[in-house]
Amino acid sequence: MLAALYGIGGAGASHSGWHEWLAARVHGEIVDATGVAVRMAPMDADVALLAIEAARRAVLDHVGVGSVTTVPLRDATGRVLARPVVNDVDYPPFDKAMMDGYAVRAADVATACAAAPAMLRVVGQVGAGHDAAGHVGLGEAVQINTGAPVPPGADAVVPVENTELSADGSAVAVSVAVPAGKHIDARAKYVAAGSAVLSPGVRMAAGQIAAAAAAGAATVSVYARPRVAYLVTGDELVDVSERPRGPQIRNSNGPMLSSLICQAGGEPIDLGVVGDDRAALADRVREGLTADVLCISGGISMGAFDFVPEVLESCGVRTVFRKVAIKPGKPVLFGVCENGARVFGLPGNPSSGFVCFWLLVRPVLAALLGLGDQVPIPRTARLAGTCGANGNRQSYAPALLRTDEDGASVAERLDWHGSGDPFGLSRANAFIVRRPDALAAASGDCVAIIPLESL
């Protein structure tokens, strides 16, 4: 009964997240990951306005683990390991000299000093990449280079700086004592064959790539990039390359979504533009439902030509929610298809679509990529400019975040014309987040911000 009251799809209500949410809703608030109470906005007709945190939890309840793929190591930067990387050989694979100098028996140089150097016979030479020739016996030394295998018999390396070779090269004077093992990295000192050097969940960057390479992993198992199909709807839309005439406007959401998907680690699949036409929309939606995630821009509100919700239903998509208490971006639909595809109906207004993608779609892609909980957690910054008193929806305004001379974060409130403005976000690198009913804020006040960082 509660589920019906709040406009939640039947099966969605069976998720534990929903029970939690419903229980919390009854008590009037939800506490998010940051420990901040996320208050619910008042009821809007018979469809609930979900608080953003509850909406996000509802979405993430429908996201399992991502699929796994194998990629060449050189393409693995930024990817998350799904399987461990196991070292196939000892590292180092042999007792390795760490200095240029002479491989010696430590006992032979135990009393050596500048005043009384130890005189050793030079019986050979070994460079990196070559097998150690011969054996170092009593009173003998082998000239050795960094990275070369230490010859049998030797148990230490004396750096060349502490030696003097005789004119004919047959003897070396050693002027320091070195303990056994000095300047030698023993076989398997770092990692033994068969040990895991990288664990699942690790994100690959240069340091991890080096470890995987040393361990012999020419390919690695990582979470696959989610395939994200996107389609934009509206009879008014023309391509970027065209000049809009009369009632037309350019399709800026298509390119925006493609970029947002890339920035969130997804693989964009462009399904193009569809007019406000049920049959054409249904055809294209069915195509999109073969992807991991489908994003549809426009056509989800209450207008006579907003066919997306009914078309989704006819294509087997169960709606989980249709409205979220955020500004901009209140009309945003999330549904799940019988085949497991997750569907987002994003508002056509450019800034609204951007905000909804950031807050709801991006965390899904992060989860599928193995990045775990990438829910944007607000930080704080000093406000430059002003914010009026907030309405009853949590709001997101474009901001330019910078660091001032004292190292403090400053968020400059940027001018924009609201949800329909495709230019307002072009200077932004953050959102200023304002809680429902927050009081007006003045310059210098502390405000919550979410930086716009790529995954």
* Binding-residue total with ligand AMP (CB under 6 A): 19
Please name which of 454, 441, 455 lies closest in space to residue 380, comparing C-alpha atoms: 441
Q: Which is nearer to ligand AMP, 237 or 449 (CB)?
A: 237
From the CB of 237, what's the least distance to ligand AMP, in Å?
A: 5
From the CB of 323, what's the least distance to ligand AMP, in Å?
A: 13
DSSP per-residue codes, 348-389: SSHHHHHHHIIIIIHHHHHHHTT----PPPPEEEEEES-BPP
Q: With contacts defined by CB under 6 A, name the span among 79-87, 220-228, 233-241, 381-389 that binds ligand AMP.
A: 233-241
Q: Is 329 in the site for ligand AMP (CB under 6 A)?
A: no
d(CA 164, CA 141): 12
Q: Are 174 and 158 in contact (CB under 8 A)?
A: yes
Q: Is 351 in the site for ligand AMP (CB under 6 A)?
A: no
Q: Is 252 in the site for ligand AMP (CB under 6 A)?
A: yes
Q: Is 353 in the site for Mg ion (CB under 5 A)?
A: no
Q: Which is nearer to Mg ion, 230 or 431 (CB)?
A: 230
From the CB of 416, what's the least distance to Mg ion, in Å?
A: 21
From the CB of 301, what's the least distance to ligand AMP, in Å?
A: 5
From the CB of 301, what's the least distance to Mg ion, in Å?
A: 8
Q: Is 298 in the site for Mg ion (CB under 5 A)?
A: yes
Coil, helix or strand for 304? coil
Question: Which residues lie across from 72 on neighbouring strands?
Answer: 219
Kindly identify the residues of this chain, within the stretch 152-181, that bind ligand AMP according to CB under 6 A: none
Give Cβ neighbours of residue 404 (< 8 Å, ≥ 6 apart).
382, 410
Q: Are 341 and 285 in contact (CB under 8 A)?
A: no
Kindly identify the residues of this chain, within the stretch 413-452, that bind ligand AMP according to CB under 6 A: 420
Which of 162, 163, 297, 394 binds ligand AMP (CB under 6 A)? It is: 297
Q: Is 303 in the site for ligand AMP (CB under 6 A)?
A: yes
Please classify residue 382 by burial: count the beta carbons closer than 10 Å to its beta carbon, then call 0-12 exposed, 13-18 middle and 19+ buried. middle
Question: Which residues lie across from 306 on neighbouring strands?
Answer: none
Please name which of 285, 304, 263 lies closest in space to residue 343, comparing C-alpha atoms: 285
Q: Are 66 and 224 in contact (CB under 8 A)?
A: yes
Which residues of this chain interact with Mg ion, rule CB under 5 A? 234, 298-299, 348
The binding site for ligand AMP (CB under 6 A) comprises 232, 234, 236-237, 249, 251-254, 297-299, 301, 303, 347-350, 420
